[in-house]
């Protein structure tokens, strides 16, 4: 598992691209600058790892475009030690970004093959989430609630109510909502029953599937 000066140079270039696209949170940019994204990818795509594109990984899933990762993470307004629930561990790249930003991460993946692979891979890079769970993201993780933030990394056809109910007051849910394409949506919990909603344009994600696979 090599991370060379060349890779670091490519990451610096990627960060400059993200700045040009409007990412401003210095902590998000620093996290992306530090993480060896090429190690999270299939070897046949390693040469493209620092392009601002999504690429296939195992189990018909993708590693999200870096801009999308940065955009979603920025919306969380992360503070150190924030308690975050991630729906869709995938390759673990988004998980690593959250951990680099000193969040306490609980992450759910419903693809068994991907879950096993990422669970054994993340610790090799020194990334240790609080919990990595094989389960259904639609129901969240009630036993660890409430959360400062919840991030969903797959396209949800609707907003699962359990995710809203597992937010702290003041907590933020970042979720791409829609079928063919998704609108990036932010919910901020204002009180027990009141949520503020913001929408941020079109994105494309693999679908958030309900049953465990």
pLDDT digit string, tens, across residues 4-48: 899 999 999 999 999 999 999 999 999 999 999 999 987 767 778
Residue 208 located in a structural domain:
no
Q: Reduced to 3 states, what is the DSSP secondary structure of residue 205?
A: coil
Rounded to an integer, the average pLDDT of 91-102 is 97
Query: What average pLDDT does this structure show over 128-134?
Result: 97
- pLDDT surpassing 60 at residue 150: yes
Report yes or no on 209 lying in a domain.
no
In a domain, 184, yes or no: yes
pLDDT (average), residues 168-189? 96
pLDDT above 50 for 213: no
64 is catalytic: yes
pTM of the model as a whole: 0.95
Average pLDDT for 50-79: 90
Angle (deg, nearest 10), helices 26-34 and 93-100: 120
Length of the chain: 213
Domain hosting residue 183, numbered range: 5-203
The single residue of 64, 120, 165, 191 carrying the catalytic annotation is 64
The CATH number for 39's domain is 3.40.50.150
Query: CA of 100: how far to CAs of 87, 127, 175, 187, in Å?
Result: 18, 8, 21, 24
Decide if 80 is inside a domain: yes
Instruction: Look at the chain and report how many structural domains it folds into.
Output: 1
pLDDT of 207: 85
Look at residue 3 and tell me whether its pLDDT is greater than 90.
no
| β-pairing verdict for 167-177 and 131-134 | unpaired
Rounded to the nearest 5°, which phi and psi values hold at 197? -120, 135
Q: Is residue 35 part of a domain?
A: yes
Per the domain annotation, does 135 fall within a domain? yes
Q: Are 60 and 110 in contact (CB under 8 A)?
A: no
């Amino acid at each position: 598992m090599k991370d060379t000066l060349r890779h670091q140079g490519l990451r610096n270039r990627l960060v400059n691209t993200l700045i040009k696209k409007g990412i401003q949170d210095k902590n998000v940019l620093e996290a992306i600058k530090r993480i060896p994204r090429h190690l999270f990818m299939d070897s046949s795509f390693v040469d493209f790892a620092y392009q601002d594109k999504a690429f296939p990984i195992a189990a018909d899933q993708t590693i999200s475009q870096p801009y999308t990762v940065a955009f979603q993470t920025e919306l969380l307004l992360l503070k150190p030690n924030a308690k975050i629930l991630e729906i869709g561990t995938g390759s673990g790249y988004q998980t690593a970004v959250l951990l680099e930003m000193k969040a306490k991460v609980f992450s759910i993946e419903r693809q068994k093959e991907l879950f096993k692979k990422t669970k054994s891979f993340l610790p090799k890079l020194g990334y240790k989430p609080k919990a990595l769970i094989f389960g259904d993201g639609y129901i969240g993780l009630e036993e660890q609630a409430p959360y400062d933030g919840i991030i969903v990394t797959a396209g949800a056809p609707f907003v699962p109510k359990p995710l809203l109910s597992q937010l702290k007051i003041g907590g933020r849910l970042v979720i791409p909502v829609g079928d063919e394409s998704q609108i990036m949506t932010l919910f901020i919990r204002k009180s027990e029953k009141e949520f503020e909603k913001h929408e941020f344009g079109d994105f494309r994600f693999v679908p958030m599937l309900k049953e465990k696979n």
